[in-house]
Amino acid sequence: INTPEVPNVQPKDPEESVEEVEYDLDYHFKRKNVNKDIQDFFVDLDKKIRDIDESIWVKFAQTAITYYSPEKTFVYLTLQKNSLALEIYTGQKKIEGVQNIKNHENWGTLHIHNKNELAVAMSAIEKSFDYIREAIKNNENTGWYALTPKGK
């Protein structure tokens, strides 16, 4: 039988740490070929979100930029070529400018295309932060698939 030569690879010890891939802002800008205006707009928005409360922290993941309250996520932000797409925690409440997500009553979507939409976006994000803090205090399930009174 003709078998191809396969190099002998030593198995790795599962106790050894696995190399983590680091994602950063440049990765997200390049990933979606984000235009310069949206890049600048994101930098402004990011600063304003972090200024809501000193406890807020940010994680750059593979597909999104997430903002934490600090205990739980309250904003998932995805950079797109000509806009910012946000999924924000609503706690089943109506927030101006935010569209509810069917079957995910705790979350809503918000799309921002330019700086003129910043005030509405920041108002929604600030409410989201308040709602997530209230939910944590009340020990409510805030997850994407959380059963809500509508879902029970």
- Range with the lowest mean pLDDT among 16-20, 39-43, 70-74? 16-20
Sheet holding 83-89, edge to edge: 57-60, 65-68, 73-80, 83-89, 104-112, 99-101
pLDDT reading at 22 higher than 90: no
Reported as a single tens digit per residue, the pLDDT across 36-65 is 999 999 999 999 999 999 999 999 999 999
- The β-bridge partners of 7 are none
pLDDT at res. 89:
96
Reported as a single tens digit per residue, the pLDDT across 92-150 is 999 999 999 888 889 999 999 999 999 999 999 999 999 999 999 999 888 877 666 55
